[in-house]
Amino acid sequence: MATSQTTIIPHNQQSLITRTYPEQSELDTLIKNASEAQKTWSKVPLKERIAIGRKFMDEFRAMSEEIPMELTMQMGRSPVSQCPGEIRGFLERAAYMLDIAESSLADVSLVDTDKPGFKRYIKRVPIGVVLVIAPWNFPYLVSINSVLPAVVSGNAVIFKPSPQTPLTAERFALALTRAGVPKDIIQVIHMSPSLTTFTIQHPLVNFVSFTGSVAGGRSVEEAAVQAKGFKGVALELGGKDPAYVRPDADLDYTVAELVDGAMFNSGQSCCAVERIYVHESVYDNFVEKYAAMVKGYKLGDPTLPDTNLGPVVSVASAERIRKQVADAVKAGATPLVPEDLFPAAQLGTAFVAPQVLVNVNHSMDVMMEETFGPVIGIQKVSSDEEALKLMNDSPYGLTASVWTNATANHESQEAFLKFADEIESGTVFLNRCDYLDPALAWTGVKDSGRGISLSKFGYDQLTRAKSVHMKIKTN
The catalytic site residues sit at 236
- Contact between 39 and 53 under an 8 Å Cβ cutoff? The reply is no
- Contact between 366 and 357 under an 8 Å Cβ cutoff? The reply is yes
Q: How far is CA 475 from the centre of its chain?
A: 56
H or E stretch including 390? helix 384-392
Relative to beta strand 118-126, strand 108-109 is antiparallel
Position 211: which residue type?
Answer: T
Compute the distance between CA of residue 96 and CA of residue 110 in angstroms, rounded to an integer: 27
Compute the distance between CA of residue 85 and CA of residue 36 in angstroms, rounded to an integer: 37
Helix axes 214-226, 193-201, angle to 10 degrees: 50
DSSP for 94-141?
HHHHHHTHHHHTS-EE-GGGPPTTEEEEEEEEE-SEEEEE--SSSHHH
H or E stretch including 187? strand 186-188
Preceding omega of 79 cis (within 30 degrees of 0): yes
Work out whether the CA dihedral 327, 241, 160, 137 comes out positive or negative. positive
Residues 6+ apart with CB under 8 A from 36: 184
Compute the distance between CA of residue 97 and CA of residue 177 in angstroms, rounded to an integer: 19
Compute the distance between CA of residue 15 and CA of residue 8 in angstroms, rounded to an integer: 5
Query: What does each C-alpha distance from 115 to 234, 300, 475 come to in angstroms?
Result: 38, 70, 14
Compute the distance between CA of residue 390 and CA of residue 242 in angstroms, rounded to an integer: 9
Work out whether the CA dihedral 250, 253, 256, 258 comes out positive or negative. negative
Helix ranges (H only) for 180-248 are 193-201, 214-226
Compute the distance between CA of residue 41 and CA of residue 55 in angstroms, rounded to an integer: 17
Compute the distance between CA of residue 154 and CA of residue 449 in angstroms, rounded to an integer: 25
Instruction: Collapse the DSSP code of 339 into the 3-class scheme (helix H, G, I; strand E, B; otherwise coil) and give the result.
Output: helix
8-state DSSP, 340:
G
- Contact between 201 and 86 under an 8 Å Cβ cutoff? The reply is no
